[in-house]
Chains A and B, each alone.
Chain A
């Protein structure tokens, strides 16, 4: 089955730790995205990537980092510089950054800071 997988489903982090969230897709999509979801705020874009070895900051990139070494993988690292990382994180992909291309979403990772 084609789709997007995210792991882990739940993640707990201690203060000062970096953690990495995994996102893999087998849809052969060029574009991938990371969003943060907080109650009542919709989805906010953290980073996006149009192609391998290229990525751009979104609206709330501070405290996060990404890499895009393979087309199918777009991991997100939440660094200790992110002061309020507790949230639901969603990864998505699309054919490309063109009008009309729908996004396909993974099931999400819930990150909690202890």
Chain B
């Protein structure tokens, strides 16, 4: 069975400082991993995804994530936070034998950016 744990419910940073949102996953197979962003009262938008290619994945808006199989982690980073990055972020794992991949969402991390 697959599962995903977002280690922080809230992360607070100052504008211009680095961002680190942590995600650990559990999977019995070769998973696909995703990060989505959600601004208040909006739908989710894909930031980036990992699907067994390069372990360092670059996404939109300067975000990137590194797949570390030995640590079962897929942490999201950004070198310099911007006020517009304030939002809810979801880590998602997807695997299933037989080809039917049903995504499992983490509980989300709220990113707060201070001026």
Tell me the nearest residue of chain B to A58, going by C-beta. B102
Complex: chain B residue closest to A48, CB-CB: B102
User: A35 contacts which chain B residues (CB < 8 A)?
Assistant: 105
Q: Does A87 contact B (CB under 8 A)?
A: no
Which residues of B from 91 to 115 have beta carbons under 8 Å from A? 94-96, 99-103, 105-108
On whether the beta carbons of B43 and A90 are closer than 8 Å, the reply is yes
Please count the residue pairs between chain A and chain B whose beta carbons lie under 8 angstroms apart in the complex: 62
In the complex, how many residues of chain B place their beta carbon closer than 8 angstroms to a beta carbon of chain A? Answer: 27
Number of interface residues of A (CB under 8 A): 27
Q: Which B residues are closer than 8 A to A by beta carbons?
A: 9, 30-32, 34, 36, 41-46, 49, 51, 90, 94-96, 99-103, 105-108
17 residue pairs A–B, Cβ–Cβ below 8 Å: A41-B107, A42-B90, A42-B108, A43-B44, A44-B105, A88-B41, A92-B44, A97-B101, A98-B99, A99-B31, A99-B99, A100-B94, A102-B46, A102-B49, A105-B45, A107-B43, A110-B41
A binding-site residues for B, Cβ under 8 Å = 4, 35, 40-45, 48, 50, 58, 88, 90, 92, 97-108, 110
